[in-house]
Every structure is written in structure tokens, then in C-alpha cells.
Structure 1
Amino acid sequence: MRRPATALLLAAVLALAATGCVSLPETGPVVETDGSRTTPESTGVKYDPLPPLPDASRSEIVKGFLDAMTAVPIQTTSAAEFLTPEARASWRPERETITYGDRSPAIDGSEVVSVRMLDGANRFDSRGAWRGSLGGSDLDLRFGLELEQGEWRISDAPDALVVPESWFESRFRRLSLSFFDPSARILVPEPVFVANDGALATRLVEGLLDGPGADMGTSSRSFFPAGARLGDLSVPVSSDGVADVSLSDVGQQPPESERLMVVQLAATLRQVVGIRSVRVTVDGELVQPPGSDEGRFPVGLGEEFDPAVPGASAIVFGVRDGRLVAGIPEALDPVTGLFGTGEIALRSAAVSLDGSTAAGVTTSGSVVVAPVGAGDVEPRGILDRGADLLEPAWDFTDRIWLVDRRADGARVRYYEDGRLRSLDVPGITGETVRSFLVSRDGSRLVAVLARPEGDELVVSRIRHRPRGDVRGATEAQVILGAASEAQTIKDIAWRSPTSLAVLTGVAGELWEVRSVAVDGAPTSLESIANLNGPVRSLVGSPVDGQSLLVLAPDLALDLSGPVAREIEFGEGQRPRSLEYVG
């Protein structure tokens, strides 16, 4: 029988939002999940902009130019009609995209016509990667104009596609370009926004050929040589799902490099609906996969390099009564190794991706590594005592990551090749860190920082040498939260290799679970569920299909479906913590 108080909590949640499916657990938080989590697609409505009108004023020409960039299907030919012949020849709108919430009327000054972008503006590079929000004078678009045969035309325009944010969101898809880590052992995805039209496959391949962004430093690499380009103007896709990629200016490459180029193509193009295989031509020569004379590579090629590491253990691990437990959330049993005996009392623990080894933080503050199962391998201590250690993390190399919250701020360390090393992470080291994660591919460290004005979610790129060992980290960038967006971030968990689930406070015991991309693009924010009641933590995995859980005091809630599923813990079975591997 459901408690009357729960029904009252349900009514409070429904007052916040009128849509979505609602689950009603008997204990713990009431949940409202968002039933519309798809990326907006093109509406299918065509828009053919008007050409420049006779005797149009300077301001009207600029307005017409900006309006013409919202043509559907996407094209810039109409906008180019507003330019002088010289400006039309040199205009390069493909270099970047600028989005805005609203814009001011065009104001005709003494020398230029200016337009102010309002309600937030953002910049995306030629590949579609977000390059930050615009502010200050960068919000002003300035246009020079000249008379051409008695009519005003634009002589100086920004080399960018400048469009409303709503138009951009409905016609661009959030996807990823697949590069490799410096050791070429795993793929590293880079989020991009790509126009969702018939040229989607072409744009993705062009983005790959552009290579990793300069800001990625030594976080990733591409096996396409500099200067490689599409030999044809497009990547045609046949009716039976074969994408034909013709590459030029590749030059002679080692067979392994050629194979890894194809892996990058397959991993990137598998995101396009309808593409089942890829046929690659390099400088006129068909690349032949072993055992085939048709030259087709399945888009599943190279799954062993998947950054989500889908072959990792799917078992859930947790700490209960100081012991490491494992299984499914409904049935967690102590592991058969040392950590399941109670001989070492654990405060928290993390398990390697293959599920074989655990790094445990003891109640005395030391860190011990031991097999999950029974065996002859002796446990080893890697840190005698920390001040206030957060739950560890593992990446695909079996590197263990630690964050110790000390009186003078956080210290980041990692255990590799039998040694514990410190890593200076600008913007995280020395700060007050609430929680942290490391991506399975080892390329990103994400942390929640406590600030006086509200919590911040930040990400740093981890830099590696060619053999794979860590060489440094980039300055952490804020991807959620700021002085103008004060909030409490209760916990974070991976949702995919390029996105996180974030548990944020709304008011009192009202909570929201949001999806946030690792690049911090504002257009990537998405509400997953609203909750009303006591909550403790999030449990998530980057592997598609594995459940996203919210751990409450007496139960867990599975948010993976349109209706949250309640998971009850038996008598004395409630875990202190719960996590997937990694």
C-alpha cells in the first residue's frame, strides 16, 4: 500500500512540469522522468530566402543577409547574393558557426552596420566542435557595405554561418569524431555538432581529416596524414548502406596506419543511420579487408578500441559494512577475495574494468589494491595514509587515479607501473573537490568543485606520451555552473564516453538529473529526471544499455526507461556506495 505522503510528493513534482512519465516508489524519492530525450531533427519545412530587394537600405541588406543564412535545406548561396562580387569570392562561412538566442535590429552607423547578438552566443569551429561562449565586443557583428550598380551590398562580412540557436538545435546533430589516444590502444571521441542532412557522412569525414583540435594537445592523435583530403566532393551512401570514401594525398602509409585510418572512419560513420559498411579508396587504390574482394569494412570494425570499453565487466560493485560486494543491485554478495572478508574495513572502493582487481580506501585512510576473487596474489598498499581520499577511479590501462582532499586543497595522484605519482591539474589541484571521475579512455578528468557562489563541474584533458604514460594535464574548463548559475552538485556519473549524468539540487529535497556533455556546450544540456526526496548518489556507465541508477537511503531507482523502476534492498543489504567498474 502506498503511503499518502508519497502521493503528496507526487503532486508537488507534477506542479513543476506538466509532461513526462512518473514512477511512484513506496520509499525514497518520487521521480519524474523526461520521456522526450531525442535530439531535434529537421522539421522538413523548406525555407527559400528572398533575394536582395531593390532600393533596400543598408540595414535591410544586413537583415536580409542574416535571414538568408537560415535557408532550409542548409545552403549559403542565398546569403551570398547580399555580398559584393569581391566579398562573395572570399567569404568562407564554413570556417565556423556562430549561434545566438536573439539579435538586435541592424543599426546603421557612420562606417558600418552593426548587429548585437543577445541572450547568449556561442562559437563552433569548422568541424562543429564548441569553442566557447561569446562576450563583450565579440557579441557585435559589424558589416561594411558598398554601392554596386546603385544597390547596397555587403563588402565585409564575418567568415561564419551566423544563425539562431533554435534553428541550429533543430538542424544539427550532436555526434563524435573518433581519434586515437597517443599510444593507439583506444579511441578518443571528440564531440561535434554536424548538420543533419544528406551531407552528414561527408561532413563527418571532413571533420576527421581536419584532425584533432589544437587545444587537444597530446590527448589524442589521428592516423590520417596532414594534407589528406576527400578525392571526391562527397561521401555517397548506396541504397544497401555502403559509404564510399575516396581519399587523396594520403601517400604511402604503413599497413597498420592504414588499418587504423579505416577504424577511425568506421567508428565515426557508424553514427549515421543506414550506413552498414565502408569502402575506402586511398589515392585511387581500393583498400581490401582480409578475406574479402568487395572492399567493404563493417562499421563495427575496431570495436576493441571502443572508448566505452563495452567488453568491461557489467557487474555492479559496492561497499557494505566495510566489505566489497558485487552482483546486481537487487542481489549484492561479498566478493570471495580479501575485501569481502571484513579483514580490511573499507570506506570506498573502485574496481578495474575487467572486474578482477579492486583499489580500496580503508577506514584508516590507506589505499590497498587486491584481487576481487580468491587467489594467491598478495594485496599491496599503494598509499599509507591520505587526508581525505575520494573514491578511486581506473582507466583502461589499469592506471589507478586518486584525489586526496587535504587542508591546502586537493592533490591528484595516479598509480602506474608500480609507482604513485602526483599530477598537477590546473584548476583542480589545490581546490576544494567534492567528487571526480576519469574517463575509461584515460583522456579526461572531471571534477566537482565547491565554490562560495555554488558548485562547478570542470573537465581537464589528460596528456600522454606516445607510449601512453601520463605527461600532464590541461587547465580545467567549467562545463556546468558559474557565479550566475549557483547550484549544488550532489554527484556525477558517466552516461556515455562524451556525456555525464549530473545530480543537481533544485530546492530542499527537490533534485534534477541532467545530462551534460564533456565539452560543456550549452546546447548539450538535457533533463533526464526530476526527483523529490532524499538521494545519495548516481551510478552510471558509459556503455550503451547499462542502467543509470539513483541511490537513495533505502532503495535504488533505475532511470533508464521512460518510467523509473524501483530496486529494493533486502534486510541488512543496503550498500554504503554502488558503482560500475572503472
Structure 2
Amino acid sequence: MKSTRSRRSRMTMLLLSMCASLALVGCSSIPTSSPVGHIEDDSGDPAASNARIPDGPEPGDSISEIVRGFLAAGAGTGNNFSVARSFLTEAEAQEWSPQESVSVMPNDTDLDSLNSEVTSDQKTLTMSAPVVGLVDSSGVYSSTKPGTQSTMEFSLRQENGEWRISSAPNGLLISQTDFQTIFLNYSLEFFTSDYSYLVPDSRWFLRSSSTPTALMNELLSGPAPYLSSAVITAIPDGAKLSDSNVVTIENGVAHVALGAQSPAPSEREKGLIRQQIAATLQVIPSISSIELTIGGQVVPASLQPKTDSSVQVDGPPVVLADGHLSRVSGTTVAKVENSPNLEKAKASDPAVSLDDSLYVYLQKNGKELMRLKSDAVDATSILNGKKLVRPSIDRFNTTWTGESANKGELKAVGRDGKVFTVAADFLAGRRLVDVEVSRDGTRVALLSRHKGEPDRIDVVGIPRDKAGNPGDSVSESPIAVGANFDEVKDVSWAGSTSLVALAAERGEKAQPFRIGVTGPSAQLGEVSDGSRISGGVDGRSILVTSSAGELYSYNSNAWQKLVDVAAKDPSYPG
């Protein structure tokens, strides 16, 4: 009989082999019951030919060895998880659904170390495992709170004289390394409310030849709940793939056939549908173009409009330096020409608009929100409060903030000075720390605290009217981001699908991390005594300031201290 230790050793060799062939895979997460596929031997995926098949059950394996072997085999996706199914009874092998729920364990978790309990009749085993991430049935990744455990119960019986699992929880339990090896991150594309920009809805799918079909089915199903009222889809409700219900690829062309729609879409609507589908599918390396038919009629590429995929950030970040609003350029800091002297105003938290036309900042220890137009001489007060938090300016030049002692609402001040109160009920009774609006204006990241609980980042959609004004409330279903951290000092958008944060697990000092909006986190080196962080649109331009006023810039995967520069509260435009 082969030991669990030797099986684990061979699994490690498998994962190392897979990792070598999948160097192109970035940080990833896991889908649960999403319509994910599996790697076929003829899929053309390099992992399919290089991955080794994990060990199946051995004669005489105990109940514990069968269950642990089954869990380890979940990292082997070949032939529809055939090795994992070999640990199951014939009936259960037909019923078990590996994609229904996937839980992600920390990398330092060893299956042999997990606590388990076997009933006296040797027919049931219960096991608990630490979990740092979960992916729902649509492929949306959510991080879990520190200490989260997944408890699983397995029923076993003997079949042909050997123990086999007769009832197993649907889904997979795999490590972060396994996850980053066999799952890939893709974005479903939707539109802003004014159709000016595409908005990515980040999902996770098993590496597979059937991924294009999985992406299309999820795109047709609509956006994730946290985005549902903040973005628009041009695809009519109920639209489905026709014919064989799959997306086929021939010579780099993805063939997508939608059924007839009633009423028939206009030419403009057809073009928008085509753009959503093309933008979603053409990130797959094997796809260079698409052919779309609706009700058997080809939708020509000429109907497809040109919509920007992201909001550009052209201007340098703003900071407070030497008592003035200043801009960071390379290794120098230059005063904003018309900046007032803010040394006596107890100013903090500057922000600048994407078009550089206005600046905002807090003064009087957060009691007053000020706005300075680039062509004006004096700043004007646009909002008063008890203690307002760090402001953020969206692409409509609306400034967002909120009270630190929060009653479940945000404040947004329009470019014309109109103040909007936007309900965010989940903030009620919490201490709001930071408000960061995504640069496309569809989402807001909210950092908040509550005594005795880990700090929390919520990302939620912002409904808007046709003029771009915010609705009466944010979307009803915020998504928790970076929930596995105990402390989060500061947060900022760093691209359209990720945030950067100064964060720490229990007992650690806060360090810079990149965190997927629906994905895992990755540490970005170390910075001593970081207090504020701000990211640019590309996720590589990042600034951190220390409590002593030291300024650090992130370039080429390393932090560089800007010598002879003292500044605080950095913020990239938007």
C-alpha cells in the first residue's frame, strides 16, 4: 500500500510540472458551480500534455486515506476529474459535481494535517479545513474572513471489498497554488450607463477548451450582483446560444450564434451586442476575431462602435507638500500654481479630477470639504460635516465622501455644487475610513471599521441617471474584498479590476498589497511605516507615504524612496 505521504509527494511533482507550463497564469481564483469546463487531452492547452495524472486509490486504503486522496485528486482536472471520481462509488461518481463549489485553502495547509473525525461504525468522516477564498456558481471570487473553516462530511461504504465514498460534498477543496495553476481569470464586459466605457466583471474559470462557451453563457446571464444596477448590457433578457449551444473556434475566429430575438434589435443594438461579445472573448489567446449571428443573420463588424475599455489617467498624482497642493513628477514635487497656503487650515486628503480641472481637499480636521478650480484664485467650501473622510472624484467631476461615524450613507457633490445623499445601509453603525470611486464611475470601494472586527473593504455598484448623477442608493449586494486581512490602513483603485491597499494579517505590520476585486491578494514588497497608498490606472504606478512624510514609488516591482522629498496623502487623478 502506498502511503498518503508518497501520494502527496507525487502531487507536489504534478503541481510543479503544471506551474512550469503555466507561467503565463497570473493571480487566480476559483469558480464553484459556474459553467466551467475541463482540460481534455486534445484541448491544445499546454497543461493538458504536461500535467501528470494524480494517484488514484490503492488496495487496502483506509477511510482517512480515501478521503484525503480524493481531496488531493481534485487538482487533477483531466478527463472530467476521472481520478477524483475513482475514489467514489460507481453511483456517486455519476452524481458528484466538482464545479458546484470550490474552496481555496492557504498554501501552508497540508491535507494530512487537517482534523478529521470518524464515526464508530466507520461509515462517516467529518473534516474541517481553513479557507481563504470562495467562488460562487457564476465564477465570482470572494475572500473569506480570518479563521473561516469549511466543514465537510463524507459517507463511505465498501465496494468490491474496498472503501469508497458514497456521498461527497459537491465541489473542490484546493490550495492557492493549485488554484493559480488550473483556473484563469477573465472579464465579462458590460457598459457604463452612458455607454462611454466598457466595465469588466471579473470571473474565474477552469483552464479548458470550453472556456469560450462558459464565458458566453455567463455574459448572457448578466452582471454579478454587486454590479447589477450600475452597468448596462446590450444583450436582451433571455438571449441564448443557438444550434449546438457552444462557441466554436476555427482558424482564430470564434463563431457565436444567438437565437432570434423579439423584438429584433436595431442596427445600433446589434453593434453594441457584438462589441460586448468581442471584448469578452478576444482576450483568449486562440481568438483573433469573432463572427456573430443573431437568428441566423450575420452581424457585420462595421456595426460595432468604438468604446474605450478603460479611463485613462494622464496627470501626475497630487500630494500635500510644504503646506500646498503639489504634483509628483518623477522624483520631484512641484507646487500647484494657484494653491492656497494650507499650513494653518489643518488640511488633508487632496484629490484631483481626471481632467485636472479641479482639486478638492479637507480642512479643519475633516469638518470642511474644499474645492479649488484650476482656473480660480480661491478655494470654496462645498460641504460641511462633523468628520468627513478622504474624498474621491469620479469622471463626472462629482466628489464623494462621507461621515466617519456613519449612519449608512455617502455624500456626493456634483460639479454644479448640488449635494446628493446616497444610501449605503451596510455602513450603518460603522466607522468609515475611506471612499474610493472607480475611474469609470461604476463602483465605489469603501473601507470601514467596527470595534472587535477585522477591517472591511466593500465594493459596490453606483446606479446613475442618464446625466451621470448618482441614484438614491448604491447597489444592494456589496462584495467583500480582501476580507482575510485583520487591518487595512488605506485603499485605492489600481486599474479596473484591482485595488492596492496597506494591509496586514493578525500580528503582522501593514504592507502594500494588490487585491483583485474578485480575486486573491499578492504582497508588493515591503515599505517601512506606510500610512497612505494610491494607485494609477495600470496597477503599476503606485505611491506610498509614511507617517514621517517619506514618499515611495513602485517601479519595476521594487520600491524607490524619493530622496529629499517630504509629502503626505498621495492621490492619483480620479
The separation in 2 between residues aligned to 1:216 and 1:111, in whole angstroms, is 47
- 2:553 pairs with one of 554, 558, 561: 558
User: Percent identity, aligned pairs only?
Assistant: 23
- How far did 1:284 drift? 2.5
Aligned counterpart, 1:168: 179
- 1:525 pairs with one of 508, 521, 525: 521
Aligned counterpart, 2:326: 325
- 1:262 pairs with one of 274, 277, 282: 274
Give the superposed CA RMSD: 4.3
Secondary structure at 1:470's aligned position in 2? coil
Aligned counterpart, 2:356: 355
**When the two structures are superposed, what TM-score results if normalisation uses the length of structure 1?**
0.74
The separation in 1 between residues aligned to 2:333 and 2:64, in whole angstroms, is 68
The separation in 2 between residues aligned to 1:197 and 1:72, in whole angstroms, is 9
**When the two structures are superposed, what TM-score results if normalisation uses the length of structure 2?**
0.75
Aligned counterpart, 2:501: 502
| 1:309-348 deviation digits (Å, cap 9, x = unpaired) | 12x43322233344333361534434445x4587996544
The one-letter code sitting in structure 1 at the alignment partner of 2:78 is P
| 1:13-42 deviation digits (Å, cap 9, x = unpaired) | xxxxxxxxxxxxxxxxxxxxxxx9944895
Secondary structure at 1:188's aligned position in 2? strand
The one-letter code sitting in structure 2 at the alignment partner of 1:551 is T
| 1:214-235 deviation digits (Å, cap 9, x = unpaired) | 4544233433334433344544
Aligned counterpart, 1:424: 423
| 1:537-572 deviation digits (Å, cap 9, x = unpaired) | 22212x2265112224455322131333333356xx
Aligned counterpart, 1:581: 573
Contact 1:178 1:208 in 2 (8 A): yes
The one-letter code sitting in structure 1 at the alignment partner of 2:190 is F
| Structure 2 alignment gaps of length 5 or more | 1-23, 29-45
Aligned counterpart, 2:101: 96
| Structure 1 alignment gaps of length 5 or more | 1-35, 292-296
Distance change (3 Å), C-alpha of 1:106 and 1:209 = farther
The one-letter code sitting in structure 1 at the alignment partner of 2:526 is N
Distance change (3 Å), C-alpha of 1:136 and 1:452 = closer
Distance change (3 Å), C-alpha of 1:470 and 1:186 = farther
The separation in 1 between residues aligned to 2:412 and 2:371, in whole angstroms, is 13
- How far did 1:459 drift? 0.6
The one-letter code sitting in structure 1 at the alignment partner of 2:203 is V
- How far did 1:527 drift? 0.9
Contact 1:63 1:106 in 2 (8 A): no
- How far did 1:516 drift? 1.9
- How far did 1:129 drift? 1.1
- 1:537 pairs with one of 528, 532, 543: 532
**Is 1:287 aligned with 2:299?**
yes
Contact 2:247 2:255 in 1 (8 A): yes
- How far did 1:159 drift? 3.8
- 1:549 pairs with one of 527, 531, 543: 543
The separation in 2 between residues aligned to 1:46 and 1:557, in whole angstroms, is 41
Aligned counterpart, 1:25: none
Contact 1:145 1:154 in 2 (8 A): yes
The separation in 2 between residues aligned to 1:461 and 1:434, in whole angstroms, is 16
Distance change (3 Å), C-alpha of 1:141 and 1:265 = farther
- How far did 1:420 drift? 1.0
The separation in 2 between residues aligned to 1:388 and 1:108, in whole angstroms, is 57
**Is 1:382 aligned with 2:371?**
no
Distance change (3 Å), C-alpha of 1:70 and 1:250 = farther
Aligned counterpart, 1:368: 370
Secondary structure at 1:471's aligned position in 2? coil
Distance change (3 Å), C-alpha of 1:118 and 1:266 = same
Secondary structure at 1:128's aligned position in 2? coil
The separation in 1 between residues aligned to 2:318 and 2:410, in whole angstroms, is 24
- How far did 1:247 drift? 3.1
The separation in 1 between residues aligned to 2:245 and 2:53, in whole angstroms, is 24
The separation in 2 between residues aligned to 1:213 and 1:423, in whole angstroms, is 21
| 1:247-294 deviation digits (Å, cap 9, x = unpaired) | 346553233333232232233334333544333233332220228xxx
- 1:304 pairs with one of 289, 302, 308: 308
The separation in 2 between residues aligned to 1:286 and 1:320, in whole angstroms, is 58
Contact 1:145 1:156 in 2 (8 A): no
**Is 1:401 aligned with 2:400?**
yes
**Is 1:47 aligned with 2:46?**
no
The separation in 1 between residues aligned to 2:368 and 2:490, in whole angstroms, is 23
| 1:350-387 deviation digits (Å, cap 9, x = unpaired) | 22222222233344843333422359xx976422x322
**Is 1:194 aligned with 2:188?**
no
